[in-house]
Chains A and B, each alone.
Chain A
Amino acid sequence: MTTSTPARRVAIPPVLAGLTSGNVGAVLERGFTVIRNQNWMILLSGFFEPVFYLLAMGIGMGGLVGEVSGPGGRPITYAAYIAPALLATSAMNGAIYDSTWNVFFKLRFARLYEAMLQTSLGPLDVALGEILMALFRGFVYALGFLGVLAVMGLVSSWWALAMVPVAVLIAFGFAALGMAVTSYLKNFQQMDVVNFVMLPMFLFSATLYPISVYPEAIQWFVMAMPLWHGVELMRQLSVGHLTAMTVLHVGYFVGMTAAGLWLTTVRLRALFLR
């Protein structure tokens, strides 16, 4: 056998020593190899989810609703009203699914992370790699969905192009937080709690109707939830109506991402070294 192993050397800040070898790239490489080998139907199903919602609710139910008041008070079709909300929701769902169910499965059953952590990869490399893979999937789906919206004439501004990076930002916030939450979960029953939070967030975050239907106290509660910010942000971009609120929405997700990454890093040992 050969005697020298030409391993790559990367400078690691002392705080992170023991948690990373600076080799996140290898985790991504594995992710892309798996996608290449994967059944493409699995990939496509994630793309069709918001499309089906759009067809059923936007076009189907939208026929009963007619025109509604969009951002800035401009009248738009019901389909154009909910389409940006569906994109925000699908970014959220994909990121949460990847960072909770998928991570939990690979941790406990496929024991993929156990194998990765036998190597010089550290828990931070694995966590970041998996979050970045979730973002990549979110990016591809967002791009596809925006294409559908453009073809259907449901966007009316060049600002709509920003909906793709914003979908990635929304996914980043949820994936970072989702990974931290997973570190507290012990079994699949507790996973159901995650679903119990996600579904009402989708239904009640002013996704399918304006927030003004709620009494003021409830409005404040909804506005504290992350998805509402995602929905509003997407809606503004779809028609190119940018306000001071736009900055606030983006800020919300930047903060959520930072908090999620911080908590995930703190919880890395609890998540992986048990």
Chain B
Amino acid sequence: MYGDFAAVDSIDFEVQPGESFGLLGPNGAGKSTTMRMIGGTLDRSGGTLQVLGMDPAERGPEVRAHLGVIPQQDNLDEELRVRDNLVMYGRYFGLPRSYLGPKADELLAFAQLEAKATAKVGDLSGGMKRRLTIARGLVNEPRILLLDEPTTGLDPQARHILWDRLFRLKEAGTTLVVTTHFMDEAEQLCDRLIVVDKGRIMAHGSPAQLIREHSTREVVEVRFGSERNAQVVAELEGVGVRNEVLPDRILIYTPDGEGALEEITRRGLHPVTSLVRRSSLEDVFLRLTGRSLVD
């Protein structure tokens, strides 16, 4: 048995080997705490937890030998140079230098940091630091990679580079456990996820499954100007399956977006802007909690 975690606080879940599993929820939902308990670097007050068949609170070093931990905030060693960060981190795992030399070069290439091998960590950009942190987490070739908000604070280009790298790891068979409050990230990376809010699991399933269960295929976003939105909503009754009024726009949930838009025009309503899109996890979260995820 390996790749199983069970029961974290009031949160129960299991992760299968090779799976990419997401914990999705707003800040403060307890995602990072859960991650630290999995690595055995935070004592938990109760409940049971098994990682690779072991309790990390009792056998932390053994469990962590197979984990790659990417914390939310980078904790690179600022007193060591870029390449030494990789080598020394590998030494903490008890890996020999003969293995770590080529491995460090391979990881520098993976993180696109070959040119920065001898640079000081403090001189790296935010995106570079993040990539180095992720590369460092791979030095022991972990069976499970714990990624806590992997792309928070990165620009769109850097995020896509990272997603690409993570996707390759997943293809190579690494189990990924990802926390995020970005819906697009969860959709990109996760086979299966749980939506966590206020310490409870609101829903679980694959992104497509969650969207199917808790939303419609398409969404029409219309804006009538902030004063008119609330007033118009009554006239939109029956256009879609369900309407959601946000401060700046109205969301109309429907299996057929174009059809719904035509119906709106036929009713003599002329939105300032309109947009037809596929449903996303953002809609699932809105449906489940009654509020949007990124406040």
Contact = CB atoms under 8 A, between A and B. Distances in A.
Interface in A81-123: 110-112, 114-122
Nearest to A9: B94
Contact of B93 (A37, A120, A273): A120
B92 A112 contact: no
Given A111-B73, A117-B41, A122-B60, A23 B92 contact: yes
Interface in A117-162: 117-122
A119 B64 contact: yes
B77 A23 contact: no
B58 A119 contact: no
Given A29-B88, A30-B77, A30-B80, A18 B57 contact: yes
Interface string A262-273: 000000010011
A274 interface: yes
Nearest to B59: A18
Contacts of B200: none
- B: contact size bracket: 35 or more
Interface in B87-112: 88-89, 91-96, 99, 103, 106
Nearest to B63: A120
Given A23-B94, A33-B88, A273 B77 contact: no
Nearest to B44: A273
Contacts, number: 111
Nearest to B103: A2
A8 B92 contact: no
A269 B93 CA distance: 20
A21 interface: yes
Contacts of A30: 77, 80, 88, 91-92
Contacts of A114: 41, 71, 75
Interface string B164-193: 000000001000000000000000000000
B204 interface: no
A5 interface: yes
A246 interface: no
Contacts of B43: 269, 273-274
Given A7-B140, A29-B88, 11 more contacts: A5-B93, A7-B65, A27-B92, A30-B80, A33-B80, A37-B81, A115-B75, A118-B41, A119-B64, A120-B62, A122-B60
Those 3 A-B pairs whose CB atoms lie nearest each other, nearest first: A119-B92, A8-B94, A118-B69
